[in-house]
Amino acid sequence: MRPILSIFLSLITTILLFIGIGYLSQLLDVSFEGFPFFVVIFLGGVIVTWFSTGNKIRYSIYYGVIFAVVNGFFYNFLSLSFFISLILISIIAGMGGSIAKNEKNTLKNLFNNKFRGKYKSFFINLYKRNKKVLIASLIIFFVFVLIGGVGPYVSNPFDSLMTDLIGNYLSILERLAKLTTLSLFVNNSNNAFFDEYIYGIFFGITSAIDLAFLGIINGFTFVKYPIMIFYILPHAIFEVPSAIIAVAAGFKLSITTLNIIWDGLHIKRDNPISEQVNGILSAHYLKFRDSLTLFIIAIILLVIAAIIEANFSIEIGNYITGQNIHAL
């Protein structure tokens, strides 16, 4: 299919998906802005490259720029929000195109069930390749859990600040009791996607800050309000690993981005630039795929956590503690 036709097909598909999402948003009274929005953009990038002649990644980036410009009619074209949107949409669309270009055979084999028996080795190798970022993410979380737990005993201002930040824990539990599975998942996935993963391209700083904040909040809460353990633990078993893995994915994305930029700075003028760029992207593709795979695993864990948090956590906590949070 000609590139212009594949871009047109992707734009039509994207628009139809957004109409469907808007309808569901009104029907379910849940805001689908953020993460679902970029999932559709990612899918659009996949469609462009998958169906275009030559399967060029740049076609998906063209699609992202066109979509961002169309979307820009709702913003001031000279505003910061437009330029941020343009960059993010182009990156996400390009990520989709990269997957479509490099994983066609992989997806065909998956659909043909030719990967039977290879899943275990896939996850083992995934861990081995990303062990350092996973361990780093784990260390950050538990270090700040320790800081959050010890802080109230060594600093009164810290105690007051954290108490004001968290608020009354019973009111938090009451609010959680009213949230649905879908609203919890959408809120948590937005946070995971932006703060823990995609903003990881900025040297992983936002990813580390978000995980540190989660750790310090949990450490402080468990020390000051131990009863909350019984209300948080049922879903935290999945939610905390999800955050750790999502941040590790953000670190991996940051490392990959820095490597690509570094190699890009050493492009030689006497060789075709397009071939060198394709070579750089191909050399670092596995790292990018690993980051995306880790993030997908994190999202799956978030789905499980949202189901438990919305439907079981409060009941389990009430049963163990003898409280009746729903009556508050």
Name the CA dihedral angle for 150, 151, 154, 159, rounded to a multiple of 10 degrees: -130
- Per the model's pLDDT, the better-predicted residue between 241 and 109 turns out to be 241
Mean pLDDT of 53-79: 78
Name the token pair of 184: 């919890």
Specify the amino acid at residue 1: M
The string of pLDDT tens digits covering residues 169-228 is 545 545 555 567 777 787 788 778 877 787 777 767 888 888 998 899 889 888 888 888
11-23 per-position pLDDT tens digit: 899 888 888 887 8
Q: What angle do CA 74, 80, 86 make, to 5 degrees?
A: 65
When pLDDT is averaged across residues 114-125 and rounded to a whole number, the result is: 72
Residue 39: the pLDDT is 87
Amino acid 30: pLDDT: 66
Encode burial over 235-266: b for 16+ CB neighbours within 10 A, e otherwise. bbebbbbbbbbbbbbbbbbbbbbeebeebeee
Confidence check: pLDDT of 300 > 90: yes
The burial of 150, by beta-carbon neighbours within 10 Å (0-12 exposed, 13-18 middle, 19 or more buried), is given as middle
- Mean pLDDT of the residues in the chain: 81
Other C-beta atoms lying within 10 Å of the C-beta of residue 283? 12
The reported pTM is: 0.84
Percent of the chain with pLDDT over 70: 84
CB 264 within 8 A of CB 142: no
- How many Cβ atoms from other residues are within 10 Å of residue 30's Cβ? 16
Residue 58 has a pLDDT of 83
Which of 75-79, 185-189, 268-272, 296-300 has the least mean pLDDT?
75-79
Residue entry with tokens 């060198």 = 276
- Tens of pLDDT along 77-107? 666 677 777 888 888 888 888 888 887 666 6
